[in-house]
Structures are given as C-alpha cells and as structure tokens.
Chains A and B, each alone.
Chain A
C-alpha cells in the first residue's frame, strides 16, 4: 500500500463524480412531472459530465508520483473508538472502475433515450439510473469499507428499483425482491467482515485495515476473507447466490446491460481485488475464491446452453464470465490484473451484447423467445454486426478482446502448477468451449436460419440514438483486449495497487494455450452448428429431452434447492411461530386473565344475597376466632 497523499486540484473535486448523478437523480425524483420533457437529457448529461471529470482526474492521477489521492470529506460516524470519515480514494484501481462506470454508463444512458422513448415513466427510469451510477461510484471510490458498504447497498437499492421498474408485472416485482434478499444475504457477510475488522484493528478505512492486517492471526484473516467473499458472491451472482441474476432480466434491457452485466455485478471482483492485502495473507480464502469461481463459471456455461430466452442466456453467460474473474482474482498477485482486464473487456462486449439484444427485442415487439427469432441479420444489419463483434469477442475469437483476457486468466491458472490450478484451469478451458457453443446457438437462432416471427411482427433497425452506443461498444469489444494486455498494459497502470508484476514461469507456453483455446472454441462453434444451425429450429421447445438438458433448463435446480431448503421451511416456521405467539405466548397471558376472571366469578357465587347465610358465616368466623383465642391462651 503506497502512502496516501491529500488530493489537490481536480482530484480534490472528485466527490463531484458522485454528486453529479446524485443531484440528477434528486432533481428528477423531486421535480415530478415538470421534468418529464427534459429529464432524460439531464440524466444523461450528469453521467457524461461525470465521465469527463473521471477522465480528467485519471489524467491528473497519471501525472502524480504516488498515483493515489485521498479526498477527505467529513466525519460520518464518530463515537467511542469508532471513527468513520466520509472520504474518497482515487487510485488506479478506482480510476479504471470510475471510467468503466461512467463511460459505459454514458453510452447506456444515451441508448436508453431511444429504448425508453415510449415509456410514460422514462423520467423515473433515468432518475434510478442516475441513482445507480452515484451509488456505484461511491462503492468504488470510497476510502473505507463502510463507504464501500454504503455504496454496496445503494447499488442494491438501485438494482431493486430498476428490476421492478415495470412493477405491475408480478414477475418483475418478485425478481426485484429476490435480487434484494439474496444480495442482503451477501451483505451480512460483508457487514460481519467489517465488524471483525473493527474488533481486531479498531478501524475500517482501507489504509488502516491494510496497514494492520499483517498483525492479525491467520484464522482471523481467513475469516475476514471468507466473509468478504460471501458479500462478493451475493453481489456478483456467484455460487451459491447466483439464482437472482437471471431473474433480474425482468428489468428493462439497458438495466441488464449496465447493472447486471457491465458494472454492479462486477463489484464482487472489485471487492476482492481491493482487499488484495487481506487475500494475499490467506491461502485458504483464495482457494475458496478460485473454487467458487470455477464452479460458477461451469454452472453458468451449462445453464446458458439450454435457455431460449435471449436475455437469460446472456445473463448466465455473465454469471459464467464473472466466474472467470473470480477464478483470476483468487489466484492472488498472479491473477488480479488478468481478472480486471477481463472485467473491463467484459464490460464492453457484454454491455454491447445486451444492448444488441435490446435492439432485437425492440424490433420484435419485446419478445425474448429466440425460437421466434431467426433470419434477422438482413433486417437489423447494424445490430447484427455490432452484436456479432461482441459475440466473437466473448467466445475468444483470436485477437479480439476476449481472446487476450480469457487467455491470460487460463494461463495464470495453469501456471500455479498444482492440483487446484490444473482442475480449475481444466474447467475454465471446458467452459470456454461451452461458451462458444451457447453463444453460437444464440447467434444462429437469432440472426440466421428461417424467420420464425410471430404474426404482426415487422422487424426494423433501431434509431441511431440506440445504434451509436452499440457501435462504440463493438469497437471497444474488438480492441480493448489487445489494448489492455499489450499496448497500454493494465499491469503497469495498476502497479501502485498490486505491486510489480512478476514474470511467471510458464508451465505451458502461452502460444500453446492460445492455440488450444482457439481449437476448443471452434469445436464449440461446430457443435452448435451441428445441433442448431443444420436443422430447423422448432418454435416450441422440445419436451422429451435428456435429464442433462432438463437440469440445464432449470439452471441445475438452484431455485428448487433454495425453495426447498430455505423458502418452504421458512414459511412453515413463520406460520408455526405465528401460531405459537397467538396461542402460546398470548394464549398464556389471555389464559391467565381468563383464569383470574373465571375464579373470581366462581368465588362470587358465594354471595347468595341471603342475609342469614351471611350471618351464619359471621357466626362461624366468630366461633373460629374465639376457639383460636382459647386454644392460644389454654396452650
């Protein structure tokens, strides 16, 4: 951890990065219908302005000797031994994220102007998008784990609001709730990690924690690492908390592109990369990160092969690709840069793919069923070309971005040269083949073959306000990999954060891996062509399929497991407790009251109203007293 210097100049104003979109969101939400006419323009302008500012800040940062700037803002919470200051940390790592968020964010804002043009609630949409950008920037720019946590839950809220944007659809409302809850499960992990840091180190700032983590016991460090990982899994849709991400596709497509592909879901990767000083000290936690990454990338790839919903296929692809990134950052120093390079490249091509899918949906009356697509390449030429470039980048076609970045991850994995490296590396290679398969299947079903459109559908190319961002992203998909890996190496830029990149001893020559991956990719493409491209695609999904396909269609039964393990027992427990509370706890109270009331009314029966009965009672009492007195005096 390099020394932190107080920020000067533009960097001192980097809080504006967050304030601008936040102000946009506030104006749009509070302004009400008055802002309907120009609200989308304001929303876009704030994010573009933030992008320009982020660029300027990054240039200034590049000129600094230490390449790290701390912006102290105000005291957030200070009591007892706890002192949390609101502050920002602008360093190379947060800079690339800020650029990604505002850059891709700007493009998607522009795209949304066209995509949401006919939605009556477009202003609200831009308000939520701005809110998201602000929260996400806080997440990556905050200089303490508390600031990160605030942004972390803030993006969760924005994600909830945007998934449920069309809230009159029950599916959207349910998906939003599911996303929020599963994220909260992860948040508990993150929160506990922060508590543990405070208990052990008395601070939650990055500088304090990373400075002191070396003094902690190994078990504690591992616990912190694993708890942070739980948080990362929730946000990034990793096993076992992956089930919300595909459902989140109920949100409008620009949301899927920005939040559920390019930025928010990569926050988990950011968290682990940011916490590198912690993970560097715990082999166990890193092993778990790798295992989860490998498992998830396989699950995502398998599930992606079976869906007919274009957005769900892309969503599972996202799950799978983030699995690659987890695998990479789990490698430790050898993999951080590779993982982040893949993250950036993925930000370009996956956002482009989603925007392309949105353009297709736009043309097909919002249908997402690929079985009713087909032959669209003639009707949607721009979409086809940009989508195709994103596709090639994703499957790792040589010399496009995915080729470089995925290659680097797999290389680094094998370089470990132990059982873990070989197993996870093998899985990653296998999944690369699956990726090629499902993406080719998607391409074939959507753009090629015979048109299987529903009646009344007349595909048309999207307006240029939508295609322009797609073109920019496609260009990014093509060149970003080469740029990040060889021309302007990301490893040099990130050197202040992760240290000098060490020259690893290669177990397998990089060229061999490159060729092997290309071959496997081609096999995947071929398989897809054999299964899908050669034959007519039926408009309804075949029912009689192998158990493997059925499992894949159910995403390996993740929802079923969650339901039978948590939801049903939870509902049962809730009902049982309601019964216990009403009958048991409250019943005891009411029972006591009833017993008292009942016995007093029974005692009251003794009051017969007959004077002579009372007289007898008095006499009896007097005799008793007299007798007692006698007994006492006699005895």
Chain B
C-alpha cells in the first residue's frame, strides 16, 4: 500500500475546502468547506496511523470529530441567529465587528 494516493486525496480535499472558505459567501457553504478541511486532516491522520501501525492518529481523529461536532452546534446556532436578524446568510453582510 502506498501513502501517496491517500495523501494526495487529502491535499485535494483540503484545497477544495480552503478555496471554498475563501471564495464562497454563503455561510452554510463556508461552514461545509471548513468541515471538508477538517475531514481532510482526519484522513491524513488516519492514513499515517495505519502506515505506522500506531493508534495515536486515530485517537487524534476522534478528537477532531468531537471538536467538529461541537463546532457545528455553536456555528450553526450563530448562523441561525444571524439569519434571523439580517435575513441573509452571506458572511460579507456580517461585518459590524471592525475598526
């Protein structure tokens, strides 16, 4: 088994996620892209765990998933409340917190 395919796939997923975060305006989509990036990292972790035969990477991946789940809860709640007050889910519309 070669690591390359998994790692390339993770890199592609990460790039898609990162580009998505930067270019998309819809908060939900941005959110999905963040998840994508997290999961690409998870993939990497699991891959290396498998390759080295230890379980550290897998444990780490579980942590990431737990954090991601918690983050989804808080994040979606924020997006919901922003949508309720502003009738918009665009991240560019929520720019009050500035200089």
Asked if the two chains touch in their complex, CB atoms less than 8 Å apart, one says: yes
Minimum Cβ distance to chain B for residue A236 (Å): 73
User: When the two chains form their complex, are residues A607 and B22 in contact, meaning their CB atoms are under 8 A apart?
Assistant: no
- Dominant secondary structure at the B interface: loop
User: When the two chains form their complex, are residues A612 and B99 in contact, meaning their CB atoms are under 8 A apart?
Assistant: no
Minimum Cβ distance to chain B for residue A353 (Å): 84
Question: Which residues 573-628 of A have a CB within 8 angstroms of B?
Answer: 601, 604-612, 615-616, 619
Minimum Cβ distance to chain B for residue A609 (Å): 3
Minimum Cβ distance to chain B for residue A11 (Å): 87
User: When the two chains form their complex, are residues B22 and A611 in contact, meaning their CB atoms are under 8 A apart?
Assistant: no
B92: A residues at CB distance < 8 A: 610-612
User: When the two chains form their complex, are residues B98 and A609 in contact, meaning their CB atoms are under 8 A apart?
Assistant: yes
The answer to whether B21 has its CB under 8 Å from any CB of chain A is yes
A609: B residues at CB distance < 8 A: 94-99
In the bound assembly, the distance between CA atoms of A610 and B23 in angstroms comes to: 12
User: When the two chains form their complex, are residues A612 and B21 in contact, meaning their CB atoms are under 8 A apart?
Assistant: yes
Minimum Cβ distance to chain A for residue B16 (Å): 14
Given A605, A606, A611, which contacts B94 in the complex, CB threshold below 8 Å?
A: A611
User: When the two chains form their complex, are residues A611 and B91 in contact, meaning their CB atoms are under 8 A apart?
Assistant: yes
User: When the two chains form their complex, are residues A607 and B99 in contact, meaning their CB atoms are under 8 A apart?
Assistant: yes
In the bound assembly, the distance between CA atoms of A609 and B30 in angstroms comes to: 16
In the bound assembly, the distance between CA atoms of A606 and B92 in angstroms comes to: 15
Given B21, B25, B91, B98, which contacts A608 in the complex, CB threshold below 8 Å?
A: B98
Minimum Cβ distance to chain A for residue B41 (Å): 12
A606: B residues at CB distance < 8 A: 99
Given B91, B96, B97, B98, which contacts A612 in the complex, CB threshold below 8 Å?
A: B91
A612: B residues at CB distance < 8 A: 21-23, 25, 30, 91-92
Whose C-beta in chain A lies nearest to the C-beta of B19?
Answer: A619
For the side of the interface on B, what is the size category?
A: 10 to 19
A604: B residues at CB distance < 8 A: 99
In the bound assembly, the distance between CA atoms of A606 and B23 in angstroms comes to: 19
User: When the two chains form their complex, are residues A619 and B18 in contact, meaning their CB atoms are under 8 A apart?
Assistant: yes
Whose C-beta in chain A lies nearest to the C-beta of B27?
Answer: A611
A608: B residues at CB distance < 8 A: 95, 98-99
Minimum Cβ distance to chain A for residue B69 (Å): 21
In the bound assembly, the distance between CA atoms of A604 and B96 in angstroms comes to: 14
Q: How many residues of A contact B (CB 8 A)?
A: 13
A607: B residues at CB distance < 8 A: 97-99
Whose C-beta in chain A lies nearest to the C-beta of B94?
Answer: A611
The A-B contact count (CB < 8 A) is 36
User: When the two chains form their complex, are residues B99 and A605 in contact, meaning their CB atoms are under 8 A apart?
Assistant: yes
B22: A residues at CB distance < 8 A: 612, 615-616, 619
A605: B residues at CB distance < 8 A: 99
B91: A residues at CB distance < 8 A: 610-612
Question: Which residues 253-304 of A have a CB within 8 angstroms of B?
Answer: none
In the bound assembly, the distance between CA atoms of A392 and B21 in angstroms comes to: 115
In the bound assembly, the distance between CA atoms of A606 and B99 in angstroms comes to: 8
Minimum Cβ distance to chain A for residue B40 (Å): 14
In the bound assembly, the distance between CA atoms of A611 and B23 in angstroms comes to: 11
A619: B residues at CB distance < 8 A: 18, 22
Minimum Cβ distance to chain B for residue A544 (Å): 79
User: When the two chains form their complex, are residues A610 and B21 in contact, meaning their CB atoms are under 8 A apart?
Assistant: no
Whose C-beta in chain B lies nearest to the C-beta of A603?
Answer: B99
In the bound assembly, the distance between CA atoms of A601 and B99 in angstroms comes to: 8
Minimum Cβ distance to chain A for residue B98 (Å): 3
In the bound assembly, the distance between CA atoms of A119 and B25 in angstroms comes to: 94
Question: Which residues 48-99 of B have a CB within 8 angstroms of A?
Answer: 91-92, 94-99
Whose C-beta in chain A lies nearest to the C-beta of B95?
Answer: A609
A611: B residues at CB distance < 8 A: 30, 91-92, 94-95
B95: A residues at CB distance < 8 A: 608-611
B96: A residues at CB distance < 8 A: 609
Minimum Cβ distance to chain B for residue A135 (Å): 70
Minimum Cβ distance to chain B for residue A614 (Å): 10
Minimum Cβ distance to chain A for residue B21 (Å): 5
Minimum Cβ distance to chain A for residue B79 (Å): 12
Whose C-beta in chain B lies nearest to the C-beta of A604?
Answer: B99
B30: A residues at CB distance < 8 A: 611-612
Minimum Cβ distance to chain A for residue B93 (Å): 10
In the bound assembly, the distance between CA atoms of A601 and B98 in angstroms comes to: 12
In the bound assembly, the distance between CA atoms of A611 and B25 in angstroms comes to: 10
A601: B residues at CB distance < 8 A: 99
In the bound assembly, the distance between CA atoms of A611 and B93 in angstroms comes to: 10
B25: A residues at CB distance < 8 A: 612
User: When the two chains form their complex, are residues A615 and B21 in contact, meaning their CB atoms are under 8 A apart?
Assistant: yes
Whose C-beta in chain B lies nearest to the C-beta of A616?
Answer: B22
Whose C-beta in chain A lies nearest to the C-beta of B97?
Answer: A609
In the bound assembly, the distance between CA atoms of A601 and B92 in angstroms comes to: 22
Whose C-beta in chain B lies nearest to the C-beta of A619?
Answer: B18
Scoring B30, B94, B95, B99 by chain A CB atoms within 10 A of each residue's CB, the highest score goes to B99
Minimum Cβ distance to chain B for residue A113 (Å): 82
In the bound assembly, the distance between CA atoms of A290 and B91 in angstroms comes to: 97
Question: Which residues 8-55 of B have a CB within 8 angstroms of A?
Answer: 18, 21-23, 25, 30
Minimum Cβ distance to chain A for residue B43 (Å): 18
Minimum Cβ distance to chain A for residue B83 (Å): 15
In the bound assembly, the distance between CA atoms of A619 and B23 in angstroms comes to: 13
What 0/1 readout, one digit per residue, does chain A (381-400) give for beta carbons within 8 Å of chain B? 00000000000000000000
In the bound assembly, the distance between CA atoms of A604 and B94 in angstroms comes to: 18
In the bound assembly, the distance between CA atoms of A300 and B22 in angstroms comes to: 96
In the bound assembly, the distance between CA atoms of A605 and B99 in angstroms comes to: 6
In the bound assembly, the distance between CA atoms of A118 and B99 in angstroms comes to: 77
Can you show 22 pairs from A to B with CB atoms below 8 A apart?
Answer: A605-B99, A606-B99, A607-B98, A607-B99, A608-B99, A609-B94, A609-B95, A609-B97, A609-B98, A609-B99, A610-B91, A610-B95, A611-B91, A611-B92, A611-B94, A611-B95, A612-B30, A612-B91, A612-B92, A615-B21, A616-B22, A619-B22
7 smallest CB-CB distances across A and B, nearest first, come from A609-B95, A609-B98, A604-B99, A611-B91, A607-B99, A607-B98, A615-B21
| Chain B residues within CB distance 8 Å of chain A | 18, 21-23, 25, 30, 91-92, 94-99
A608-B99, A609-B98, A609-B99 given. 7 additional CB < 8 A pairs? A607-B97, A609-B94, A610-B91, A612-B91, A612-B92, A615-B21, A616-B22
